[in-house]
Amino acid sequence: MTTGGGDDRIREFTGFRERMNERILAEPNQVVRRFFALDTQAYQAGVLDVATKELLGLVASLVLRCDDCISYHVARCREAGVGRDAMFEAFSIGLVVGGSIVIPHLRRAVDFLDRLESGAPAPAEHLHD
């Protein structure tokens, strides 16, 4: 169930992510810049399409219990045309691989998905999760 603050959570997540990515990439550190570039390239279409790669990122993020990464990949999956049923299949894989410790992160993932489905704007661009 979504609440009136859904847009706020997504807006805060997106704003913070964009602001900090810009701040981090402004530093003259080539290792960080190259990692961000590698991350961007890894999610481009290849033998695997973008939707499949984003689903893989979503499962890995669930298992690693990274809420920012999970939210980001939920949004990217939606933009890549992944439907709710397919996302729930990915959620189930993450839960099976990661175990019950993933459940709190799954709750937040579903809440974020619900908020996106209610019309909240998704985060833009693919720079490191």
- 3-class SS of residue 123: coil
CATH number of 50's domain:
1.20.1290.10
Q: Is residue 123 part of a domain?
A: no
Instruction: Look at residue 6 and tell me whether its pLDDT is greater than 70.
Output: no
- Number of domains the chain is built from: 1
Q: Is residue 122 part of a domain?
A: no
Instruction: Look at residue 21 and tell me whether its pLDDT is greater than 90.
Output: yes
The pTM assigned to this predicted structure is 0.84
With beta carbons less than 8 A apart as the criterion, state whether 128 and 39 touch. Answer: yes
Domain of 44? 6-117
The string of pLDDT tens digits covering residues 50-88 is: 999 999 999 999 999 999 999 999 999 999 999 999 999
Q: Is residue 81 part of a domain?
A: yes
Q: Is residue 127 part of a domain?
A: no
Q: Is residue 66 part of a domain?
A: yes
H runs (alpha helix) in the chain:
6-25, 30-42, 50-64, 67-79, 84-98, 103-117
Q: Is residue 50 part of a domain?
A: yes
